[in-house]
């Protein structure tokens, strides 16, 4: 008996030693990842809705708040769309209404030929049951960031007017935010600038061109910024076969909102806003460059163009500004696989 006990103890000790050496065993089971705290600021059109569906289905995301802005539709429509999605997705995050117009100049007409008359491809959006948060979008952003200092990723996939307004109200905001990921801009790596089925501006990208003054302020506010521009989003494409294979009720809703206006004549569509979500969660799938980015202001034909200079530029238009990161390459198949698998894993 003594020999048996001794051998048993030895085996257990040997197992503990191996676990310590290899970092395995019950005591070393991998902890689930800490969810990424996210504020989602969007001009709720079709691709914005698809990105919110992705965020809601990810177990590694803690969605703190949703804010709306004009852009793909008028502010009343983008806000209604956000509340509809809050109902549909069962979100607990508050939804706050944001800017109805740019900081300066007139409000560009919504691109109804892309996002439909209501922003969601003319899908019959029911009257939302969810209520709006009483705060403005900028105030909600400020309150949530101050409640979680150093922990919040702001995902901005629409005009940047809400963020610019929040910066004016709370100049300390850049020191409290973990990072800002923006779907916006075009830098000539893979996109030379043209009015297309998914971008209504002639040379600028829509989110930047829709409020260039706000964009320049936000990009150069001194917080960690990554731009996910058209250069990478147009290289990530969903076709009809991909859309048809998306599972469950989420797949059915996505097909319903994309089929009438968003899928182009070739039967495909670029993945704009969901690319920013993917970058925030899996940045290793992208290559980036670092530089100083400025936005051409005004309302002329060049308004909203994003221009990048290398770090250390002595050009007076760039020298006083810090650097940001710009995505220039993407593993597009990984983005598409991630989106579909997220919906499958959620089982909705």
User: Which residues are designated catalytic?
Assistant: 43, 272
Contact partners, residue 164, CB within 8 Å, separation at least 6: 103, 211, 213, 214, 215, 217, 218
Strands 95-96, 61-68: pairing kind: parallel
Contact partners, residue 68, CB within 8 Å, separation at least 6: 41, 42, 43, 44, 75, 78, 79, 81, 82, 95, 96, 97, 98, 137
Strands 306-309, 286-295: pairing kind: antiparallel
Token pair for residue 90? 């069962």
Distance from C-alpha of 210 to C-alpha of 71, rounded to nearest angstrom: 7
Token pair for residue 331? 């593993």
**Burial 129-151, CB ≥16 within 10 A → b, else e:** ebebbebbbbbbbbbbbeebeeb
Distance from C-alpha of 205 to C-alpha of 222, rounded to nearest angstrom: 22
Nearest to 133 by CA among 62, 68, 47: 68
């Amino acid at each position: 008996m003594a020999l048996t006990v001794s051998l048993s103890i030895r085996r257990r000790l040997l197992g503990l030693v191996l676990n310590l050496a290899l970092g395995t065993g019950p005591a070393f089971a991998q902890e689930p990842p800490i969810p990424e705290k996210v504020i989602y600021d969007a001009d709720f059109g079709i691709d914005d809705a698809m990105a919110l569906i992705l965020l809601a289905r990810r177990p590694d995301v803690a969605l703190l708040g949703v804010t709306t802005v004009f852009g793909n539709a008028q502010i009343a429509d983008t806000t209604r769309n956000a509340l509809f999605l809050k109902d549909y997705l069962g979100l607990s995050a508050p939804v706050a209404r944001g800017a109805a117009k740019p900081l300066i100049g007139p409000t560009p007409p919504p691109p109804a030929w892309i996002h439909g008359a209501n922003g969601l491809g003319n899908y019959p959006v029911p009257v939302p049951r969810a209520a709006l948060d009483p705060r403005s979008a900028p105030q909600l952003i400020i309150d949530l960031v101050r409640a979680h200092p150093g922990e919040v990723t702001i995902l901005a996939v629409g005009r940047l007017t809400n963020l610019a307004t929040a910066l004016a109200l709370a100049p300390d905001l850049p020191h409290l935010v973990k990072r800002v990921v923006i779907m916006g801009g075009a830098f000539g790596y893979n996109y030379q600038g043209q009015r297309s089925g998914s971008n209504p501006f002639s040379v600028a990208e829509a989110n930047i061109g829709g409020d260039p003054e706000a964009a320049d302020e936000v990009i150069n506010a001194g917080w960690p910024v990554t731009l996910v521009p058209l250069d990478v989003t147009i290289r990530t494409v969903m076709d009809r076969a991909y859309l048809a294979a998306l599972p469950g009720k989420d797949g059915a809703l996505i097909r319903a909102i994309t089929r009438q206006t968003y899928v182009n004549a070739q039967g495909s569509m670029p993945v704009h806003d969901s690319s920013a979500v993917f970058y925030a969660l899996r940045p290793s799938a992208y290559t980036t460059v670092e530089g100083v980015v400025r936005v051409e202001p005004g309302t002329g034909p060049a308004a909203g163009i994003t221009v990048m200079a290398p770090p250390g530029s002595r050009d007076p238009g760039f020298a006083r500004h810090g650097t940001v990161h710009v995505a220039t390459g993407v593993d597009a198949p990984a983005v598409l696989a991630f989106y579909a698998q997220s919906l499958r894993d959620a089982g909705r």
